[in-house]
Amino acid sequence: MPGPNEAQRGVELGLMLRVLAFAAHKHRKQRRKGSDASPYINHPIAVANLLVNEGGVQDTTLICAALLHDTIEDTKTTADEIETEFGAEIARIVQELTDDKSLPPATRKRLQVEHAPSLSAGAKLVKLADKTCNLRDLAEHPPTEWPLERRQGYYDWAKEVVQGLRGASPALEAAFDAAWSKRPR
């Protein structure tokens, strides 16, 4: 018979797998912008993987939020749906990480920079992992239609966002800095 810790871990693993299946279903028809047009779900999986394996994050809520971080923004998923399925805390973090797509892109980018310092501790960790994964993807498989200047601009903007997240995790910040050091020239 499993002990209390083993039973709790089983519940947490079950939740993470339900979240992963939900995110995979929601992103099933989407592809990344990179030259390899990888399935979109690879991105939230990479963010969660970075949190756990490079950032040392063991918090199930944060791992679930990482897997769901783009669902409200990029699919027809609502915050209420996430809350009903996975709880208020996961939904709150995902909402913190969600851009308002009704705003122009330049405004959304500016707001990310402005809001970064006031994110919750957990949202900061997911945001750091997200920006790091985006830079890694951009270095490995840049969108073919993005000229050098646009790629450089994305790196510079990501660095501005991350400036507001500094102090959240030395390990994740080091991963971001390593990814940023590969800025195209």
Catalytic residues: 73-74
DSSP code at position 75: S
Helices (H), 54-169: 60-68, 71-74, 79-86, 88-96, 105-115, 121-140, 148-163
Distance (Å) of CA 126 to CA 66, 93, 146: 6, 9, 25
* CA–CA distance, 131 with 159 (Å, rounded to integer): 9
* CA–CA distance, 60 with 15 (Å, rounded to integer): 8
Q: Is 103 helix (H, G, I), strand (E, B) or coil?
A: coil
As beta bridge partners, residue 31 has 39
As beta bridge partners, residue 39 has 31
* CA–CA distance, 184 with 154 (Å, rounded to integer): 10
